[in-house]
Amino acid sequence: MTEPAGTPPRKKLLIRTWGCQMNVYDSARMADVLAPLGYAPTEDAAEADMVVLNTCHIREKASEKVFSDLGRLRDTKQRRAAAGKDTVIAVAGCVAQAEGAEITARAPWVDMVLGPQTYHRLPEMVARLSRAAGQVIETDFPAEAKFDHLPEASAPQGPIAFLTVQEGCDKFCSFCVVPYTRGAEFSRPAAAVIAEARRLAGQGAREIALLGQNVNAYHGEGPDGRVWGLRRLLRALAEIPGVARLRYSTSHPRDMDDDLIAAHGEIPALLPFMHLPVQTGSDRMLRAMNRGHDAALFRRIVDRLRAVRPDMALSSDFIIGHPGESLRDFEDTMALVRDTGFALAYSFKYSARPGTPAAGLPGQVPEAEKDARLQALQALLREQQQAFNADCVGRDCDVLITGPGRYPGQLAGRSPWLQPVHLFGNEFLPGDIVRVRLSAALTNSLSATLAHQEPAPA
């Protein structure tokens, strides 16, 4: 049978199940979570790209049967390897749980051993394994890419330009499709980034926003042959004539190290604005999300950023209603928001993405509950955004003019905290950076007067 064009090559999955109904159920779940990675069932070990032995400890001699099955599978794996085909062998279930170390010692051709609590991480384990073997994972993830996008970097870009410096992600958050759809983390060589930034500056860009799914994990090859982190790259970009403002998005708390934080105190072009998704304020949920940090780390980063750059504005992403989220977890999120004070934030109801580990977790939160929590969070975030904007009134700052405003004689621009700003002044052009005094906060923007002018009487 021929595959329709554009369909990823199917892989075959053989699951052998021993024991109780629970194991039968678990095998079905494993097949479900692997289907989006392109695995279709087979009964034939010789054609299986992946074999899972789902074992049972209770039955007498069960583990000896598993070992003799594994012996036959070694031969199958060798025959397939001779024909240029890989075979992933996994042992799951209670035997795996009890005898994991023995399995890897006695049968080193086994690629993964997983206890019953780790099935939801199967997609991650398979993806990591195929990356380690230098393969690209072909996914059947739904084409809709709601949570898998970076802002469009379309040309020509004008005074604010976007420049992708990093792609992909190795973090495997429980809810997220990016590690599967975008593949492994990759950083562009610094020389290529610098060349593109020069080109953008030559075309009139004054502000450059560096993009990447994990931009602060940037570790590109430097022109000096060394690996450059983001701080080094930012320093080089700040020296390009015409580049007056720099920022980067999206960052992960785990990669926000002291070195990069220091950059915010020493590079004047770096804008005092940081988008740093935390997702939740609950340590329990951060663990369930596989985020690799706790709420305390996020709080420490915010404190240190504000220590080196006191006017730093914070932005974040939140997910409400991840599987297992209790009211108490939600309250931890509210507390973190209250303590931090965000200038801007994006909050989402958790939505199960087929093939991601969280989609198979128990404790899915009812829709009505998610709605109620999201509304409460968004009300608080809106309040904070308004408070932040109100607090800006009276400040003097540099605004980057981006184009004409809505009314004749009016100009539109961006503050250093990325707020849209409106001002009157005919003498300026897009790309100019103008010293202003912020004079009033509207719902989604601020108005400003030239710093040397008095505001018009009301």
Cα(432)–Cα(268) distance, integer angstroms: 17
Cα(104)–Cα(108) distance, integer angstroms: 5
439 binds ligand 5AD per the rule CB under 6 A = no
Binding mask 128-147 for ligand 5AD (x = CB under 6 A): -------------------x
8 Å CB contact between 42 and 5? no
Helix (H) or strand (E) holding 304: helix 295-308
423's contact among ligand SF4, ligand 5AD, none, with CB below 5 to 8 A by partner kind, is: none
252's contact among ligand SF4, ligand 5AD, none, with CB below 5 to 8 A by partner kind, is: ligand SF4
Q: SS3 of 17, please?
A: strand
Report how many residues bind ligand 5AD under the rule CB under 6 A: 11
Complex with ligand SF4: residue 240 or 278, whichever CB lies closer: 278
Q: How far is the CB of 249 from ligand SF4 (least distance, A)?
A: 11
Cα(3)–Cα(10) distance, integer angstroms: 9
Cα(15)–Cα(30) distance, integer angstroms: 9
348's contact among ligand SF4, ligand 5AD, none, with CB below 5 to 8 A by partner kind, is: ligand 5AD
Q: How far is the CB of 353 from ligand 5AD (least distance, A)?
A: 5
171's contact among ligand 5AD, ligand SF4, none, with CB below 5 to 8 A by partner kind, is: ligand SF4
User: Which span (63-71, 135-143, 218-226, 350-358) binds ligand 5AD, by CB under 6 A?
Assistant: 350-358
What values do phi and psi take at 42, rounded to 5? -145, 160
Distances (CA, A) of 380 to 27, 157, 228, 342: 43, 34, 39, 10
Complex with ligand SF4: residue 348 or 428, whichever CB lies closer: 348
319 binds ligand 5AD per the rule CB under 6 A = yes
Which structure tokens are listed for 312? 């730093």
The residue within the footprint of ligand 5AD, chosen from 348, 361, 420, 449 (CB under 6 A), is 348
Complex with ligand 5AD: residue 279 or 439, whichever CB lies closer: 279
Across 157-301, where does the E strand assignment appear? 160-164, 166-167, 186-187, 207-211, 220-221, 227-228, 245-249, 273-275
Of residues 437, 434, 441, 435, the one with CA closest to residue 420: 441
351's contact among ligand 5AD, ligand SF4, none, with CB below 5 to 8 A by partner kind, is: ligand 5AD
293's contact among ligand 5AD, ligand SF4, none, with CB below 5 to 8 A by partner kind, is: none
8 Å CB contact between 249 and 211? yes
Interaction site with ligand SF4 (CB under 6 A): 169, 171-173, 176, 178-179, 213-214, 252
Helix (H) or strand (E) holding 353: none
Of residues 213, 17, 7, the one with CA closest to residue 119: 17
110 binds ligand 5AD per the rule CB under 6 A = no
353's contact among ligand 5AD, ligand SF4, none, with CB below 5 to 8 A by partner kind, is: ligand 5AD
Q: How far is the CB of 352 from ligand 5AD (least distance, A)?
A: 7
317 binds ligand 5AD per the rule CB under 6 A = yes
**Segment 174-203, which members bind ligand 5AD (CB under 6 A)?**
175-176
User: Which span (50-58, 260-268, 292-300, 344-352) binds ligand 5AD, by CB under 6 A?
Assistant: 344-352
User: Which span (39-47, 125-133, 346-354, 389-397) binds ligand 5AD, by CB under 6 A?
Assistant: 346-354
Nearest-5° angle of CA 351, CA 356, CA 360? 80
8 Å CB contact between 371 and 349? yes
**Torsion angle, CA of 362/365/367/373, rounded to 10 degrees?**
-160
Which residues have C-beta within 8 Å of that of residue 407, sequence separation ≥ 6? none
DSSP conformational letter for 203:
T
Binding mask 351-370 for ligand 5AD (x = CB under 6 A): x-x-----------------
Cα(17)–Cα(92) distance, integer angstroms: 9
Chain residues in the site for ligand 5AD (CB under 6 A) = 147, 175-176, 277, 279, 317, 319, 348, 350-351, 353
